[in-house]
Amino acid sequence: MNRLYWAVAAVFGIVTIITLFISSKLFQVTNQFSSNIGNSSDRRQIEILEKQINELRSRLEGMERIIARKGVDKIEKFIPKNYPKVKFRNEMNRKRILITGGAGFVGSHLVDRLMLEGHEVIALDNFFTGRRRNIERWIGHPNFELVHHDVVNAFYSEVDQIYHLASPASPPHYMYNPVKTLKTNILGTLNMLGMARRVKARILFASSSEIYGDPKVSPQSELYFGYVNTIGPRSCYDEGKRVGESLLMAFYKHENVDIRIARIFNTFGPRMHINDGRVVSNFITQSLQGMPITVYGNGNQTRSFQYISDLITGYYFACKYWKSRRI
């Protein structure tokens, strides 16, 4: 990005130099004819030159406005970027992979992993919680495509794998618009399953430990069905993920779609939102601000945590393994 700003500054500098050059020429021409100012033909020539110079000056001012408005995006295309070194794969081994929520906390780390592995990646995001800067290092790379799109609406592309991660995951975010959270996890999942069925793609659904609700058993096995309040303040997320899992199982059993379901527990790491609202970000924020650490309950609670790179490794191998199985 520093090279980009220097390039923009250079363009502004060139425009300024041209403007000064034209002004100096006008001054020279004016002095040249000042001694013959009484001659009508000379005055006419000066007027013509002044008109031409004013037109050029207007064009230059227009160029400055264009550069100020669009110049960064235009110039960025012509500035070479140093991308991370990626693994070389031939056409037979390179997959085309779609990641919904690709600019989010988890999605952006998955983009990094798959790009470094040498695959073609499409990152789909509506930027509700995703951020462009999370995946900015890959923008412009021939193997990477960023699409601003909401999974609630249908999306069509030829892909080999789909990682369906799109959904707000922190309580403040998913409770901000409960209806939208439900739509993302239900309609968005239906759209992705429809695509997977059509193009014969493998699909991984990012589910959550929240499907267990407020469990009466700890720790929970996968045979535990949960204890869920269907009308509580967090139910939009809990039920959205439960419906998502049901949809995947239905498409697997009746449409022969190749599915993976991964139930995420508390994940932390770089690119987390500082206002994520979950325990790790809350502890860090309170510590940095010199505030007392808030612990709810009696302090005897237990919780599973995982670092983001461990989660991404699990995702990667879950989709890499050729056959569905319980892990």
List alpha helices for 225-306, DSSP H: 235-255, 279-288
Cis peptide bond prior to 84, omega within 30° of 0: no
The answer to whether the beta carbons of residues 107 and 99 sit under 8 Å apart is yes
CA–CA dist 105, 269 (Å, integer): 9
Give the H or E element holding residue 46: helix 40-66
| Catalytic position from the list 237, 252, 315, 316 | 237
Burial class (CB in 10 A: 0-12, 13-18, 19+), 156: exposed
Among the listed residues 23, 29, 32, 33, the one whose alpha carbon sits nearest the alpha carbon of residue 54: 23
Token pair listed for 30: 């004016």
The amino acid sitting at 303 is: R
Give the DSSP per-residue string, 207-243: EEGGGGBS-SSSSPPTT---B--TTSTTHHHHHHHHH
Angle between helices 40-66 and 2-34 (to 10 degrees): 170
Residue 237 a catalytic site member: yes
Residue 126 has what DSSP assignment? -
Other beta carbons less than 10 A from residue 260's beta carbon: 23
**Which of the residues are catalytic?**
237
